[in-house]
Amino acid sequence: MPAAIGRLLLAARKREGLVYVGGCGTGWSHQESTMLRELLDELRTDKPAVSLRRKGAVFAQPLLVAELEYRAWTDDRKLRHAAFKGIREIEENSAVYEFDPQT
């Protein structure tokens, strides 16, 4: 049985690529965390989708969208107090956050 998730490292769309926007370490039960880990293990890759180095991190292909609730953005454009609400597959023309460094 795989370990549970401790923290998700998150990215948002930025033009044609992705940019790291912080992490989320709350909002799921132990059972949901274990199921999420199993799902992400199927998408495991050695190469992170964003420029990021984290000791012990397990990276996944960016094929899922996390639904989050958060309080605000920090001055360095990271999510503040992000809480996980669910996960869904990327759909054509779906509403997915687009990172805008000007806002």
Q: pLDDT by residue (tens digit) across 15-24?
A: 788 889 999 9
Q: Who's near 3: CB < 8 A, 6+ residues apart?
A: 34, 37
Residue 81 has pLDDT above 70, yes or no: yes
**Which of 51, 56, 61, 101 is closest to 78 using CA atoms?**
101
Burial class (CB in 10 A: 0-12, 13-18, 19+), 24: buried
How far is the C-alpha of 58 from the C-alpha of 60, rounded, in Å? Answer: 7
pLDDT given for residue 95 in this prediction: 59
How far is the C-alpha of 84 from the C-alpha of 26, rounded, in Å? Answer: 6
Across the chain, mean pLDDT equals 84
DSSP code of residue 47: S
Q: Who's near 85: CB < 8 A, 6+ residues apart?
A: 27, 66, 67, 68, 69
Residue 94 has pLDDT above 60, yes or no: no
Superfamily name and number for 8-89: Nucleic acid-binding proteins (2.40.50.140)
